[in-house]
Structure 1
């Protein structure tokens, strides 16, 4: 099976998806929209109309030169390029922010022409307003696994006798809402009568993906304060490390954390403070790893293959009919 992937940027989870599909025998070619200027993967940041116009001839040239079975458009802004041809079936994968705002308008205008759509959560499917497969991105359970906390603290240079709240992004990443994380941490210190040194809010940016598990194992809690998400991998990766998670009610986080303790979801700043206080007072790791096994890349890869085969079978039936 030969698949042409269109993508706005080669995020870690996207490259892991490609690696998984190739291990399962899919021949893949990837075309990336030019001109990405990102802050921790902020989709489309820094691009203008010119970059997206440059992408169309690249796609058409590749389709003329390659012998593909289907097109897989990753992120809604790649959908227009996939549906400008009428020969190959199209699978569209949405990541989260592409179902709201301007990106969401583009996505919805193109979705009807796609043969299959995958979204990260029920919330995304509701926002899209169309039938879609709920398919979270996978995680690498061999890379993200529990390790000794004190050893992890030593490896990242943190004091193991302090409590560390991990905000796993750059403070400049606007959609992740660092100001809220800062307020929640400050109020948590006040509630626990702790100093800035006793409870530290840690941020990471530009860290190689293979080192992220060390930071997660060194932390006492992961704090996610995003305004919107699809199925945030940082939450699932934290779960795989048994790191407690406190998060806003975005994407599929509430579903993921349903049976995980200690961890919690808050819909208000007050609730987030309550949840973070409870996690830090517990001084324990979570049972998240058991809950996240279902989204290993191997299982997600099999589900993507099932979607490909279903789309191709339907396309063959239409041709025969």
Structure 2
């Protein structure tokens, strides 16, 4: 099978993992990315997307079986080519963000739509295939916490709370995370450090997740945050606000908690930090293994091509 992938996020680790997993199943994947640069201050321009369409149209004339539009903003260009069936994958922010209307307008015209969670399916209001992005369990796995702390040069006598994003990403709400950690210092003996994943290569994230005592997620909105799945694969406890599919992902995972208020976040975080135990996340997370994801996407492809 030959698949033409469209994306505006070709360097996204979940997308790269998806392509690798599909190619391991014998699927030939070609990727066309939206041109232009994305910076911390701005996304791509309208002109970048205008330049994208001629490339998509020309490439679609090749010997492909279908087009897979990865991320909602690529859907109009997938649908504008005249000859190939279209599979659309929505990642989260392309559905609940300010341009979510693009995804909602395009999804009914696609031959199949993949979403990351049942909540996204309900929000979209149509039948979808719920296939979360996978995690490479060979990379994200438990390791010695003391060894991980040594490798990062962290204080071995402190508690470490991991905020898995850059502070500058407004939607991730770092100020709330800082406020919670500042408050919890009154509840826990010894120093508590809030660590961020600023400029951390993705391949090094397992070290951070094994060195930390807890992952703290305070985002204003999420779709299906991969950092939560990666934390589960490393048996790192997670304390999170109720966004995206986090509640679904943390079902049966202890110690971990989904909270609404700052007071709940503070209590849950203090409980995790004083318990000094890892979670059972890995054994609860089989549905986020890349080996589970790829066959299901392949099944969607077969169904679309057959019909």
Q: TM-score range by the shorter chain?
A: over 0.9
For residue 102 of structure 1, give the secondary structure of its aligned residue in structure 2: coil
Matches within 5 A, 1:145-294: 145-192=141-188, 198-294=191-287
Matches within 5 A, 1:18-29: 18-29=19-30
How far off is 1:193 after superposition?
5.9
How far off is 1:34 after superposition?
1.3
List structure 1 segments (4+ residues) > 6 angstroms apart after TM superposition: none
Q: Does the 8 Å CA contact 2:60/2:84 hold for their aligned counterparts?
A: no
Q: Does the 8 Å CA contact 1:149/1:160 hold for their aligned counterparts?
A: no
How far off is 1:189 after superposition?
1.1
The CA deviation string for residues 171-222 of structure 1, in whole angstroms up to 9 with x for no partner, is 001111111111111111123365xxx0000001221211110111000000
Q: Does the 8 Å CA contact 2:8/2:74 hold for their aligned counterparts?
A: yes
Give the whole-Å Cα distance in 2 for the aligned partners of 1:152 and 1:180: 26
Matches within 5 A, 1:95-106: 95-106=91-102
Unaligned runs of 5+ in 2: none
Matches within 5 A, 1:26-105: 26-39=27-40, 45-64=42-61, 66-105=62-101
Q: Does the 8 Å CA contact 1:9/1:36 hold for their aligned counterparts?
A: no
How far off is 1:163 after superposition?
0.3
For residue 227 of structure 2, give the secondary structure of its aligned residue in structure 1: helix
Unaligned runs of 5+ in 1: 315-321
Give the whole-Å Cα distance in 1 for the aligned partners of 2:271 and 2:150: 25
Give the whole-Å Cα distance in 1 for the aligned partners of 2:189 and 2:277: 20
How far off is 1:311 after superposition?
0.8
Give the whole-Å Cα distance in 2 for the aligned partners of 1:142 and 1:120: 22
Give the whole-Å Cα distance in 2 for the aligned partners of 1:38 and 1:311: 36
Give the whole-Å Cα distance in 2 for the aligned partners of 1:170 and 1:276: 20
- Are residues 101 and 154 of structure 1, via their aligned partners in 2, closer, same or farther at CA, if it must alter by over 3 Å? closer
The CA deviation string for residues 138-177 of structure 1, in whole angstroms up to 9 with x for no partner, is 0010101111111100001101110000001100011111
Give the whole-Å Cα distance in 2 for the aligned partners of 1:147 and 1:16: 22
For residue 186 of structure 2, give the secondary structure of its aligned residue in structure 1: helix
For residue 29 of structure 1, give the secondary structure of its aligned residue in structure 2: strand
RMSD (Å), alpha carbons = 1.3
The CA deviation string for residues 110-142 of structure 1, in whole angstroms up to 9 with x for no partner, is 111101101111221122122111111000101
The CA deviation string for residues 78-123 of structure 1, in whole angstroms up to 9 with x for no partner, is 0000001232111000000111243211111111110110111122
The CA deviation string for residues 230-273 of structure 1, in whole angstroms up to 9 with x for no partner, is 11111111111111000111111111111011110111211111
Give the whole-Å Cα distance in 1 for the aligned partners of 2:180 and 2:39: 26
The number of residues matched between the two structures is 306
Give the whole-Å Cα distance in 2 for the aligned partners of 1:102 and 1:204: 26
TM-score (norm 2): 0.97
Partner of 2:291: 298
